[in-house]
Amino acid sequence: MLTYVLKTLWRHRARTLLTVTGAAVAMFVFCCVGSVQEGLERLTTGSDANRSLIVFQENRFCPTSSRLPEDYARKILKVDGVRDVMPIQVWTNNCRASLDIVVFNGADPKQIQASRPVKLVAGSWSDFESRRDAAIVGRNVAQRRGLGVGDQFSIGEISVQVAGVFSSTVPSEENLIYTSLQFLQYTRGLDNAGLVTQHEVMLDENAEPDRVAAEIDQVLRAGSVATTTRRKGAFQASTLSDLVDLIGFAHWLGYACVGLVLSLVATTTVMSVQDRIKEYAVLQTIGVRPLRAMRLVLTESTILCLIGGASGTLLAVTALAVGGYSIGAEGATIAFRPSLGLLWSGLIVSLGVGVAAGIAPAIQAATVPIVRALRQE
């Protein structure tokens, strides 16, 4: 009977092709939206999102407007529960939402190597540590900008030599460029000597993050600049608040794509059943039971949806993996890295929608009155 279904689909090639293409486009959008949502979730709920703190200047948002004394790190280290502090100078070419944002993080190279989940895939740490204007570049940035080890990269006031390209288990890290702290502090035009954008605080295993954050702000209240300290995940969610709202709206776009596939495949299957209503009557006449007729129609709708949905899902996963896309704002980035879970969700949704779309026409095919159907012209 599978051969029979495939021949039926091939008989109406144009209609089948249009349905498969529509399902593929809708599932492509569904997977892209799902990738953005996964990227946001990874950024705000990752392994270090609740075990690290970010100390930022109070009532400031864009990295270029936050200016904290570097020596705040000594005071923060004295707070109970603090394991280490990494002063970071952040520079970005655009504080607004952008698909091609470039973010530099300046910090001590040894602290970067010790505290960041990065692994060099090209270049060496010794080259990075030996030159003040050297930088290691995230794999996604290197791919988008066509950068390799030894290249000179310039943007705005910043000009660095690429000493390495790194990958990371945290996708958003691959959209960053790391340089030495002194390089960003003393680059002409930035005027950041002795200042940093933020302090990243690593906590002891048993430390209570909210208590430590409140204590840090209390200790620094007497300093020259007031601070706001938050968990890293909460800080990044706040930084990307406008994008979070937009991504939340895009969630409904994903559901709309699923509804579109359901409507498209159901309409095609209904048309197919109506065109062959006599054929189903003949099948029942020669002994095909109603449940078998239902299975024929359900198989037809499922095959249509699976072929289209799987094609769109695989195309989306491939494009996202190769493209290294991301969106960022105010120095924080969301990476659109596909996952195995996204692939499976696309395939499962395609299968479920295919079955759901075929239920109504399957019942019609199984309950067709034989005599009346055979009399139709």
- pTM across the whole model: 0.74
Q: Which residue bears the tokens 């067709």?
A: 368
More confident residue, 95 or 185: 185
Q: How many percent of the chain have pLDDT more than 70? A: 87
Whether 52 and 282 have beta carbons less than 8 Å apart is answered as no
Q: How many percent of the chain have pLDDT more than 90? A: 15
More confident residue, 120 or 171: 120
User: How do beta strands 152-155 and 103-107 pair?
Assistant: unpaired
CA distances from 24 to 28, 260, 356 (A): 6, 11, 17
Whether 22 and 264 have beta carbons less than 8 Å apart is answered as yes
Q: Where does the pLDDT of residue 375 fall: very low under 50, low under 70, confident under 90, or very high at 90 and above?
A: low
Whether 5 and 276 have beta carbons less than 8 Å apart is answered as no
Q: Which residues, in sequence order, are CB contacts of 195 under 8 Å at separation 6+?
A: 67, 68, 69, 70, 89, 185
Residue 209, pLDDT > 70, answer yes
Residue 103, pLDDT > 90, answer no
Give 23-50 pLDDT, tens digit per residue: 899 999 888 888 888 777 776 666 666 6
d(CA 69, CA 295): 71
Give 264-294 pLDDT, tens digit per residue: 888 888 887 777 767 667 777 777 777 887 8
**What's residue 246's pLDDT?**
73
Residue 311, pLDDT > 90, answer yes
For residue 94, give the 3-state DSSP assignment.
coil
Give 155-195 pLDDT, tens digit per residue: 877 889 999 999 888 877 888 899 998 888 887 766 778 88
d(CA 69, CA 65): 13
The residue-averaged pLDDT of 255-270 equals 86
Give 234-243 pLDDT, tens digit per residue: 777 676 666 7
Q: Where does the pLDDT of residue 337 fall: very low under 50, low under 70, confident under 90, or very high at 90 and above?
A: confident
Residue 140, pLDDT > 80, answer yes
Q: Report residue 153: phi and psi, to 5°.
A: -125, 130
**What's residue 49's pLDDT?**
65
Nearest to 178 by CA among 250, 115, 106, 276: 106
Q: Which residues, in sequence order, are CB contacts of 342 under 8 Å at separation 6+?
A: 31, 34, 35, 38, 317
Write out the DSSP string of 309-336: HHHHHHHHHHHHHHH--EEEETTEEEE-
> How confident is the prediction for the chain on average, in pLDDT?
83
Structure tokens at 197: 């954008």
**What's residue 321's pLDDT?**
82
Residue 17, pLDDT > 80, answer yes
The residue-averaged pLDDT of 90-96 equals 76
